[in-house]
Structure 1
């Protein structure tokens, strides 16, 4: 099957709206998400049974030609097998849209493919485990790619296959205007439920390339460095040493800890789904369910506050500055070790969502005709002195002030890192943009005309990944360029 190619001058963008379904529509949404979970679990059990059977036959010395036929792991193969078996194992399958079952099968196909490629070394990153069965408490989600998917002209309803018209909490005018003007087209819709129990509809659309707003000012400072952290979310500085902005971290989860402690203690005193004495599952009480709903709403509010702060600040940065240099942090590696004594730091790292800053700037700089320079993971932005270029061998997280051993300069640690990142951005010139259509956002593949710098080793206590055997970092930086409006 040919891969979808994004036309030149267009980008893929998602519009997310909170839904206000009726009780009937709510039950239909739960049924569709449950159907996706059922299809995923049934086919996963079948795949495991076939694999175990073939492994047992090999242990008996049976030849390869006489083994039980293997089951295909691709989405078309899983869908073909499901269509053969669905009438026998799920006679109620016609009550839901076929897209519900396709959602579960697609998730299984991706999981099996990632696991297989991770075992053979074809997939970069951490190793992926074998797919697991989805439980009732798993995230409810279903994706529609065919059928009637549209935004209604009244700008307060969306229409989805088998679900009909569903009212939205907020207006859909931003997307409706694009569709009316012919600069937007809906590709698919994903309906999911958050921890607070609210349903959301995310419409994946193909829209004409976004441009910077006419009233958005451009800063006189062309190149800036952005250092991200737990205490101060963003520290923006210029190459000449001027600190331009310092945005404190909102810490929504930390602020909600007092309320969460009260709710979780109340839930522990009530009749939960598990009996620790009899060591068996039981029907939870209504008050336990109500308390769990309050806990979910508290977490959902913390997520919304965090997302709001990140989106507003990254949008402003992409519109205001022409070149932005950021770090490439291994956020998951920073939280992977440490034990119980590092629990508070791990919670703070998750509360700050440091990796989201670079992710959002990656596509927003393309929208607003800016350039993003991503420093190598081993680039010692915090350890290098911005005054003389000297480097500290170690720098702990507790040292918030950088004091150089060579020139005795004393400077704020985050500001020093931001200055070094800004100077790294000045040393790079961006070439012509690569071919569009790579990945989910058009315009990837920008090249770097100059030779990439060889970043030094990070090392020390703040290193998130082990250093190479030679003690120096890996060469190269990643540069991504925005598309001209």
Structure 2
């Protein structure tokens, strides 16, 4: 699907509201989200059925021309197949008319995206760790979510209700007058709505095309380098030499004692057991809900603090320099994983990026292999080693002695000028010209023989169920050559 392009002078922005549905509306919300999950599972099973059928036919020696054809996973193809099956398939025939068509379209779109990501990952065209084939979503683990793109989606004139297709009028927890006023003035237009159950509540996220003026920052020509850490959440050094320390609130650490108390209370009560079919007791459900409220409170406090921090930074500085941290690798450190996850390094970078674009400012990303902590901010000398427990940077070439985080922040701030010189140690987030690590000139996953671009049948990828056919073809070709 093509990405929506807003009109000139407009941006696409999300307005998120907590909902207060009644019992009937909550049942309808859960039914729509369950329909989306059922459609996703149907699409995954429908596509992978052809894979299993071809594998079985190969064991009988059936030729390539006579094998069952591959089933496509594009969204139009899935929609066409689903519309043919929903009236006769016993999994949908009794109840599919109870929900909006958008619920099923949500599941089919998610399945198409999952297969595309799988093919791109196998072909080496997708960043991150390699993805496996899509799997069915179990009911007890699936996140309740549904997206509406057509039908009646509006904010009512009273500012206290939203209208969604097939769900009708639902009360919002906080007033939505700001969005309604924009829509009434003609400066905003609702594109879609997504309902989701998260942290014990229902939320409606309205995707809106709105006219937004670029906010003028206080110091547009000043660059700031931000070094994220656990002792201090952020150490900021700007190009004028000013240094700021942002304390780490450590929301989770402050609630660990209470969480242990609730966890012990939950463990003493009779919980569910899927192996024996045992149902949880009412006291277990009550204790588990109390423990969940503590987790939700911690998550809300963290989200609020990060938004305030990133908004304050973006309102003051025109250029922000951050590091490309390997957060997934840092979480493997069992001694610091809890503190790193509680700090939210990835969320800070994400918010700084989109808020900078909203203000017309730039975000410079330092290379993951740039030694910001090991480099002297005074003379530029680089240390060979600097263990994590050494918190003070003592330069071997000059008399500089400084806190290591402050030294790293100064080095990051200096990269703002390097970004325009093309040295390759930093780059704007849109272009990402980063320096190459050691061994980057070697063959990558995308260039190895088993993952050549354009190989395979689906989206240019060689999938696991297709490798058997390629191996068989190679064997036949070698046999013919020898013969």
TM-score by length of 2: 0.84
Q: In structure 1, how many angstroms separate the alpha carbons of the residues matched to 2:439 and 2:4?
A: 42
Name structure 2 gaps, 5 residues minimum: 427-434, 442-483
> Which residue does 1:26 correspond to in 2?
26
| From 189, 196, 208, the counterpart of 2:193 | 189
- Of 198-207 and 369-378, more deviation after overlay is shown by 369-378
Residue 240 of structure 1: how far off its partner (Å): 4.6
Q: Within 5 A, what are the aligned runs for 1:418-429?
A: 418-429=409-420
> Which residue does 1:199 correspond to in 2?
202
Q: In structure 2, how many angstroms separate the alpha carbons of the residues matched to 1:313 and 1:249?
A: 11
Q: Within 5 A, what are the aligned runs for 1:134-149?
A: 134-137=137-140, 138-149=142-153
TM-score by length of 1: 0.84
Q: Deviations over 1:204-263 (max 9, x none)?
A: 1111134217xxx614871111111122112111235320x2111222222221122111
> Which residue does 2:287 correspond to in 1?
291
> Which residue does 2:166 correspond to in 1?
162
Q: In structure 2, how many angstroms separate the alpha carbons of the residues matched to 1:453 and 1:113?
A: 32
Q: In structure 1, how many angstroms separate the alpha carbons of the residues matched to 2:82 and 2:107?
A: 11
Residue 396 of structure 1: how far off its partner (Å): 2.4
Is it true that 1:328 corresponds to 2:324 in the alignment?
Answer: yes
Residue 12 of structure 1: how far off its partner (Å): 1.1
- Of 356-365 and 184-193, more deviation after overlay is shown by 356-365
Q: In structure 2, how many angstroms separate the alpha carbons of the residues matched to 1:220 and 1:67?
A: 64
> Which residue does 1:468 correspond to in 2?
438
Q: Look at both structures and tell me which one has the larger radius of gyration over its CA atoms.
A: 2
Q: In structure 1, how many angstroms separate the alpha carbons of the residues matched to 2:386 and 2:312?
A: 31
| From 84, 109, 114, the counterpart of 2:112 | 109
Residue 141 of structure 1: how far off its partner (Å): 0.6
Q: Deviations over 1:248-306 (max 9, x none)?
A: 1222222221122111222112111117xxx4332111222222222222222111111
Stretches (4+) displaced over 6 A? none
> Which residue does 1:178 correspond to in 2?
182
Paired residue secondary structure (2:105): helix
Q: Deviations over 1:395-418 (max 9, x none)?
A: 222222222222242211111111
Q: How many residues align?
A: 429
Q: In structure 2, how many angstroms separate the alpha carbons of the residues matched to 1:352 and 1:386?
A: 26
Change (3 A) 1:466 1:349: farther
- Provide the aligned C-alpha RMSD in A: 2.1
Paired residue secondary structure (1:99): helix
Q: Deviations over 1:371-413 (max 9, x none)?
A: 2211111111111111111112222222222222222422111
Paired residue secondary structure (2:86): helix
Q: In structure 1, how many angstroms separate the alpha carbons of the residues matched to 2:74 and 2:220?
A: 52
Q: In structure 2, how many angstroms separate the alpha carbons of the residues matched to 1:120 and 1:219?
A: 45
Q: Deviations over 1:152-206 (max 9, x none)?
A: 11111111001111111111122122212211111111100113x2000011111
Q: In structure 1, how many angstroms separate the alpha carbons of the residues matched to 2:220 and 2:51?
A: 62
CA contact (8 A) 2:418 2:425 kept: no
Name structure 1 gaps, 5 residues minimum: 430-449, 456-464, 472-485
Q: Within 5 A, what are the aligned runs for 1:22-171?
A: 22-88=22-88, 89=90, 90=92, 91-137=94-140, 138-171=142-175
Change (3 A) 1:220 1:73: closer
